[in-house]
Chain A
Amino acid sequence: MTAEVTAEIRTAHILDLAGEGKRLDGRGPDEYRRVQVEPGFVTTADGSALVRIGDTAVLAGIKLEPGKPFPDTPNAGVLTTNAELIPLSSPVFEPGPPQPGAIEVSRVVDRAIRAAEAIDLTRLCVTPGEKTWVCYVDLHVLDHSGNLIDTAMLAGVSALAHATVPAKRFGIAESDYPLDLQHVPVECTFVRLGDALVVDPTFDEEQAAQGRITIATDETGRVVAMQKGLVGAFSPDDVREVVRRALVHGDRLRIAARGGTA
């Protein structure tokens, strides 16, 4: 159970440890916690995945429904991502309208999926200008022990990778068919602890962090999105370093997205 206010001596201790290349839970600066992916967790969804990174858990559900395309993109399907930081998952979340943190997670995940062109949105078009599939990616945070971005992203991507378009149910085609991802983006988040840049921060490490940076990569080795968060600064060399590390982690996370433990 996390206390609502993190003691300053605890964050100071985390920074001291980081100075020696150590972390509270004994991990190295470039080590992820245990990653577990369970696709198909929810059968009422068209695709779903429960992902745990350490004690953090996010459940992603995909729902596809027929709808109207946007006027400026009549040939494309609609993708919309929403993250719920529900109070169930942490003592620091309050019930009510989405907080800035939730909105940031939604948008960072959405940006990576879009930029990577994970889904060919034109394939979701049914009748240009009139009818298209709307793909909802709902990210439900169940347990917040740090690094919601990477966990939510992996859950979203894994859910999409295992999703089926319910074409038969909506009378649009003879049978349902798999959504089929053309690219697989994943996200890797690092925080600065003193001079060290450590990957996959725990909740306490996020409290101690002096800056956070997320790098999204796809399976072809491209960087598709980046986000700097929290208060702190990164030099261009820092950015080069985390990109290099993110590419390595990305490949491991992509394998995990298929299902299983990493």
Chain B
Amino acid sequence: MGSVGAKDVPVLLSPEGLRIDGRRLDELRPLRIQAGPLHQADGSAFVEWGANKVMAAVYGPREVHPRHLQQNNKAVIQCKYNMAAFSVDERKRPGLDRRSQEISKVIAEAFESVVFAEEFPRTSIDVYIEVLQANAGTRCAGVVAASVALADAGIPMVDLVPSVAVGKIAGQIALDLKKEEDNFGEADLPMALVPQSGRLVLLQMEGHMTPDELSKALDLGVVGCKAIYEKMKQALRDRYTVDPVATGAA
């Protein structure tokens, strides 16, 4: 648990309450969101969060391929989360893997809760998330990027969906784990919030926590999500701010 002197295990929390990157327990890593960086996609977003670099693109609503997946009364939301081969320290072989498939499903379900899919029967809204550089919390960064991309694509939704992972390091509940904290910490809890309703549409947990710790983690996560929400809104506003130098230059 981050004991001093143990080989290869870093000290996750200093006596002063500082984490290995100097953050306090309730601080987010630096987060930068850019809406609309891609030209082909209907909507897109690029997120740089700590050392994560994640690109998301949305196509749709559009015709469903393959056709048999069509739903008569609403759009299907298909999500594909993928990590680039060079995004992790040990090269990841290209192609489907079980972890990516699970994450894709969980993220698609999160968006199904907020997108007004009934407005577009028999269509597909395709969400693609590419992790270009990974450092823990990639599925949360993916949700943030995809949410902004959906808004950028003009897809009607109840709300944007901020997301963050809360964890437990050195026995303390901490917000937004980075890689070492995720690897050597005691619990990891990714979540995604719909600010308007105050409800969670993505929730996973791995590790061990007491019910009290879990309760504290949920509250901390909600606070983190609200801060991220503001950044997401700003990124979309910035997209449409009139700038004489940038006008015409994408």
Binding site for B on A (CB under 8 A): 1-2, 41-45, 48, 55, 57, 59, 61-63, 65, 82, 84, 86-91, 94-95, 136, 138, 140, 142-145
Contacts and interface: CB of A to CB of B under 8 A. Distances in A.
Interface stretch (B82-90, B167-175, B183-191): B82-90
A80 to B, nearest CB: 11
A86 B57 CA distance: 11
Interface of B: 38-42, 51, 53, 55-57, 59, 62, 65, 80, 82, 84-91, 94, 126, 128, 130, 132-135, 250
A94 B40 contact: no
Given A42-B86, A63-B86, 14 more contacts: A42-B133, A44-B87, A55-B39, A59-B84, A61-B84, A62-B86, A65-B90, A87-B80, A88-B38, A89-B57, A136-B85, A138-B85, A138-B86, A140-B130
Contacts of B87: 42, 44, 61
A25 to B, nearest CB: 12
A59 B85 CA distance: 11
A101 to B, nearest CB: 15
30 contacts: A2-B40, A41-B53, A41-B132, A42-B87, A42-B132, A44-B133, A45-B86, A55-B40, A61-B84, A61-B85, A61-B86, A61-B87, A62-B86, A63-B86, A63-B91, A82-B94, A86-B128, A87-B80, A87-B128, A88-B55, A88-B56, A88-B130, A90-B40, A95-B80, A136-B91, A138-B86, A140-B84, A140-B130, A142-B130, A143-B39
Contacts of A90: 40
A170 to B, nearest CB: 11
B153 to A, nearest CB: 10
Nearest to B58: A88
Label chain B's interface by main secondary structure. loop
Nearest to A34: B249
Contacts of A87: 59, 80, 126, 128
Nearest to A60: B86
The 4 A-B residue pairs whose C-beta atoms are closest, nearest first, are A61-B86, A45-B86, A88-B128, A63-B91
Contacts of A61: 84-87
Contacts of A57: 38
Nearest to B65: A94
Contacts of B130: 86, 88, 140, 142
A63 B128 contact: no
A143 B91 contact: no
A84 B85 CA distance: 10
A1 B94 contact: no
A44 B65 contact: no
A6 B229 CA distance: 38
B144 to A, nearest CB: 16
Contacts of B128: 86-88
A82 B95 CA distance: 12
A86 B40 CA distance: 12
B39 A63 contact: no
Nearest to A45: B86
B41 A84 contact: no
Given A61-B85, A87-B59, A145-B39, A138 B132 contact: no
A191 to B, nearest CB: 19
B40 A43 contact: no
A84 B57 CA distance: 15
A41 B126 CA distance: 26
B85 A44 contact: no
Given A42-B53, A44-B134, A143 B88 contact: no
